[in-house]
Structure 1
Amino acid sequence: MSSSEGYLVNAVSQAMPMWVVWRAIEAGATTRAALEDRTGLTSNQVGTALRGLGYLRLVEHLDEYQAVELEYDAPTRRQAFSMAALNNVAKECSVPPEQGEPAEDEEQWGKQAVLPLTFEYFVVKNRQYFDRKDNQELANLIDDWHLEMEFRPVDDDGDRNELNGNKFDNWARIAEFLGIVRPAQGTYYTVYLDPDLLLAILQAAANDLSTDRTDQDYQVVDIRKCFRWISKRFLRMSLTTDNEIPAVIAQSLVELSTRQDIRLIEYSDADSVHLQGISRPASMDTATNSIEVRT
């Protein structure tokens, strides 16, 4: 973990300009002056967006700025952008151990792991709502979680970047932009994976993992293998010790199932899984262990 690299949640308080600037670079504006002219953003806004894009490994700068090619296809460019940002951060993070397996002797974290690790806190603690503004107590709890996970980002002086209320506020704005939380009312948010983003991720997983098709010719993937694949590439997720899909993840899967974009089915002889704190929808098999991707 480099101490010289900036810290995403220190640098970026407004996430949308990153998308605006990235699209402008992709369209051919490759200098600061050209970016300011094309986007209408101020010099400070363009500079902050470029720093954020650099921390997310989405822009390179030699003589000119260049947009990094997005690794995964998705129905929309915004979804592909979010997937690329999450994927680039995940590449620099440890993967959670398999259920029943010991953790690594030492967790490895890139400096921007604050993005997926803070989301993981909500998943593991089954905390689905928060206030983006009245948040110092929550920020302290998440900071303790970061320490428990051996995530200790440091600044140029070697001091640890603690997660405070302002940084958590920035995290929430970035997380909303990427589609891993959404506003509920006022400054209150719900921790909710955008179903369309999750569907794009599931489709990518099925394309990579699935060798089987159901009788209706849909791709099917084992839930445990799918979660492991997603943990390595986007967001760390795993079943609870009771073989449940965490509620934060389950609610988005249920919405996709209700929309008939996926089905939660029994397909293999793997152990079945359940939904944490959510009633099983009629579209879900009683002994679910796989996801049928219907797109």
Structure 2
Amino acid sequence: MPAVEGVVFDWAGTTVDFGSFAPTTIFVEAFKAAFDFELSLEEARGPMGLGKWDHIRTLGNDSTINGRWQAQFGRAMSDADVDAIYDTFMPLQIKKVVDHAELIPGTADTIAFLRDSQIKIGSCSGYPRPVMEVLCAKAAENGYSPDCVVASDDLSAGARPGPWMALQNVIELGIKNVAHCIKVDDSAPGIEEGRNAGMWTVALTLSGNESGLTLEQFLVASESEKRIARERALSRLEGAKPHYVIDTIADFPGVVDDINRRLNAGERP
């Protein structure tokens, strides 16, 4: 019977780092350190899911941020400026990513479910390889080691929202049918990546970048507060047209069961 063969998980906001705070806070610090430029945490979250150089370039192209940049420097942000911010960002991110490597609640149980189901576990990220090496080592200490890790700078073809990192997982994991693979992410570019690769896609609303909740806030939130955060996240994710929307990775095993049902009925992504 047709069944799910593999899952490709994002990292921050999906399996580790509830609320995706490691990259966002470091973007704020990098803009400040490189150019004494004030960037809000909410602004830093905007293009999440892209490769980090592209993320900075996209921030610089934002009309509001560009207006403040022009007022401060008398010119638009150049690619050289992006390089300077990226070069400031990288050592900060490598140093601090381990502080945000705790597993999101439900990750360990979901991974165990996938292992028991003989489903291969891949991953990819907007983080470049030097950051991923540090993060993977710390995540392994915390009990999470996927079968495959693809970083944003691994492939010459590029990163999200193109399909290449997701498809590299398919190659390395030896998955025979892309339609039997699921991409799980908390960002629109990550969902678009999965759709472009021909996979089922699952968007996470409450553990990731778009809700911006800390784990502590999530654990004490009322149902009304969760509903508001869920709706806010969905308004930013629904344009990517995910096949499924769930709160966190803890809800994922039920999605696998439903996709298996749909595959058995002859459906495809």
TM-score by length of 2: 0.26
The structure number with the bigger radius of gyration is: 1
Which of the pair is proportionally richer in helix? 2
| Greater relative CO, 1 or 2 (CA 8 Å, sep 6+) | 2
